[in-house]
């Protein structure tokens, strides 16, 4: 019996018993769907890791100012009233020495931004020339703040792409002026469009395209002039020379700040790379659970196929005897039932791929995790479903092929 004829007979048997066939496919469907969704979560997690590291910078340490309450606030006012300051940054730079590749302070300003009399709802930060090196945020047009701008506190500004499109939609922003806290700042650069990720990061870096950057000394001396907390920084970002010294440098930073702040916890030291990898480990655990579920589902699906095929052999014993009497060989009967098992399994696999796409999208939307379905996952899933159909359909097919024709014809 030719393969085409076997496919035709197998397809007819499946369509004649639709409900039975669908129930037989369920294990394969769920197993393949779990494989697809697991691959999507894994690929999405790797992509998210790369994206978050590009936003937060590799080999970085971030020190954030923390608002205290109660007794801790009283201790801070008495022992370390200025919180995180530039003096902390200078001391850290001195201690880290050659381990430090770049260091950038950050001061968020509560200052009104105006362009041509229009008030714009954008955030302004005081920083220095090292900010692009740490964040990986590049300049698209013009230049970024340089050391002289920082040292002299010049009234210059670098704007994000969204700010550019809103404030200067039809003109070149370079050389134009924006008002920050009533002080005119000359635009010297425009940052490349970055966008805000839907998934966010383990440390909120804000929407960089909606930000304005000015020299930190201009932020402290000019815009925040007269503010008793003007010298206080919101964040200090550090980049060390390599991952090998990251943990050691982080411990040194904590010791320096603990000594300078006399034990008052008005700050927190974060290592983004470690936090991100911890987050990825959580996702990996979920992936392993899904793989286990997929293996069980495929095993159950395979057993289901075997049971149905054995029942089919028993039900069609007389038909097998007639075909053998009419000249069908053992391998023809074997091929007929094996092809039928493969068709059931492959159809289940195809439906499972569709369910897997839906499941991956659902997980991404519900958990706010990016999911990416790699093409190889589809190939592997299809191959697995075919393998399940072959392995679990082989025994029933051999049993059908091994039936004695005379005994089969006697079956009522």
In-domain check, residue 61: no
For 9-28, what is the mean pLDDT? 73
Q: Under a CB-based contact definition with an 8 Å cutoff, are residues 353 and 375 in contact?
A: no
Which residues have a Cβ under 8 Å from the Cβ of 55 and sit 6 or more positions away? 135, 136, 194, 197, 201, 205
Report H helices in 239-374.
Answer: 246-260, 272-315, 317-325, 330-367
pLDDT for 188 equals: 96
Same domain, 382 and 361: yes
How far apart CA 116 and CA 403 sit, in angstroms, is 92
Pairing of strands 177-180, 235-240: unpaired
Answer whether residue 310 shows pLDDT above 90. Answer: no
Structure tokens at 360: 């991956």
Domain of residue 127: give its range.
Answer: 67-265
* Res 50: pLDDT: 65
Q: Is residue 57 in a domain? A: no
Per-residue confidence (pLDDT) for residue 160, from 0 to 100 = 92
226 shares its domain with 104: yes
* Residue whose C-alpha is closest to residue 233's, from 115, 385, 125: 125
Task: Average the pLDDT over 302-329 and give the result.
Answer: 76
pLDDT score of 304 more than 70: yes
Write the pLDDT tens digit of every residue in 119-146: 988 989 999 999 988 887 889 999 999 9
Same domain, 313 and 212: no
Query: 54-82: b or e for each residue (b if 16 or more CB lie within 10 Å)?
Result: ebbbebbbbbbbeebeeeeeebbeeebeb
For residue 359, being part of any structural domain is answered with: yes
d(CA 313, CA 340): 12
pTM beyond 0.85: no
pLDDT band (50, 70, 90) for residue 155? very high
**What pLDDT is attached to residue 385?**
82
Last residue of a domain, one of 230, 265, 300: 265
- pLDDT greater than 50 at residue 147: yes
Q: Does the residue 273 lie in any domain?
A: no
Helix (H) or strand (E) holding 74: helix 70-79
Position 271 in a domain = no
In the predicted model, what is the mean pLDDT of residues 85-97?
A: 89
| Whether residue 285 is found in the same domain as residue 260 | no
138 burial (CB, 10 Å; 0-12 / 13-18 / 19+) is: exposed
One domain for residues 44 and 87: no
* Residue at 154 is within a domain: yes
Shared domain check, 383 and 260 = no
Helix H or strand E encompassing 70: helix 70-79
Residue-wise pLDDT for 207-265, tens only, equals 788 899 999 988 887 765 555 555 788 889 898 888 788 888 888 988 988 888 777 77
The verdict on 293 and 351 lying in the same domain is yes
Domain for residue 89, yes or no? yes
258 and 387 share one domain: no
Q: Based on the domain organization, do 367 and 261 belong to the same domain?
A: no
Residue 341, in any domain of the structure: yes
Report the DSSP pairing between strands 156-159 and 118-120. unpaired
- The rounded distance, in Å, linking the Cα atoms of 128 and 86 is 12
d(CA 132, CA 146): 11
How do residues 330-363 score in pLDDT, each as one tens digit? 777 777 778 888 888 888 888 888 888 888 888 7
Question: Domain boundary residue among 265, 295, 328?
Answer: 265
Report how many domains make up the chain: 2
Least confident of 8-22, 183-197, 230-244: 8-22
The answer to whether residues 39 and 150 belong to one domain is no
Does pLDDT of 150 surpass 60? Answer: yes
- Show which of 243, 265, 287 is a domain's final residue: 265
Say if residue 323 is in the same domain as residue 354. Answer: yes
36 shares its domain with 137: no
């Amino acid at each position: 019996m030719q393969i085409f004829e076997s496919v035709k007979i197998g397809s007819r048997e499946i369509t004649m018993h639709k409900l039975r066939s669908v129930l037989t496919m369920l294990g394969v469907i769920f197993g393949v769907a779990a494989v697809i969704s697991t691959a999507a979560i894994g690929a999405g997690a790797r992509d998210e890791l790369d994206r978050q590291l590009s936003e937060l910078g590799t080999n970085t340490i971030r020190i954030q100012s923390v608002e205290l309450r109660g007794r801790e606030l009283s201790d801070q006012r008495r022992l370390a009233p200025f919180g995180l300051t530039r003096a902390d940054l200078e001391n850290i730079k001195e201690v880290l020495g050659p381990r430090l590749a770049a260091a950038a302070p950050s001061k968020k300003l509560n200052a009104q931004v105006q362009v041509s009399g229009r008030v714009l709802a954008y955030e302004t930060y005081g920083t220095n020339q090292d900010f692009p090196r740490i964040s990986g945020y590049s300049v698209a047009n013009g230049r970024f703040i340089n050391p002289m701008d920082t040292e002299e506190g010049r009234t210059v500004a670098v704007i994000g792409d969204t700010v550019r499109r809103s404030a200067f939609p039809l003109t070149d922003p370079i050389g134009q002026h924006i008002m920050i806290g009533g002080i005119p700042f000359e635009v010297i650069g425009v940052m490349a469009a970055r966008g805000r990720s839907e998934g966010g990061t383990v440390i909120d870096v804000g929407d960089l395209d909606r930000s304005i950057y000015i020299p930190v000394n201009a932020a402290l001396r000019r815009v925040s002039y007269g503010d008793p907390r003007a010298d206080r920084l919101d964040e200090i970002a550090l980049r060390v020379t390599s991952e090998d010294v990251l943990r050691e440098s982080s411990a040194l930073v904590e010791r320096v700040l603990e000594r300078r702040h006399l034990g008052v916890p008005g700050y927190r030291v974060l290592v983004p790379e470690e936090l991100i990898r911890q987050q990825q480990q959580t996702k990996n655990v979920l992936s392993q659970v899904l793989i286990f579920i997929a293996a069980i589902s495929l095993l159950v699906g395979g057993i289901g196929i075997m049971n149905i095929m054995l029942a089919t052999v028993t039900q069609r014993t007389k038909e097998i005897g007639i075909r053998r009497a009419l000249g069908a060989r053992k391998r023809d009967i074997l091929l007929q039932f094996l092809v039928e098992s493969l068709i059931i399994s492959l159809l289940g696999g195809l439906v499972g791929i569709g369910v897997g796409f839906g499941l991956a999208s659902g997980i991404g939307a519900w958990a706010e995790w990016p999911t990416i379905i790699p093409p190889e996952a589809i190939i592997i899933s299809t191959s697995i479903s075919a393998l399940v159909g072959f392995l679990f359909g082989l025994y029933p097919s051999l049993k059908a092929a091994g039936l004695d024709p005379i005994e089969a014809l006697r079956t009522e």
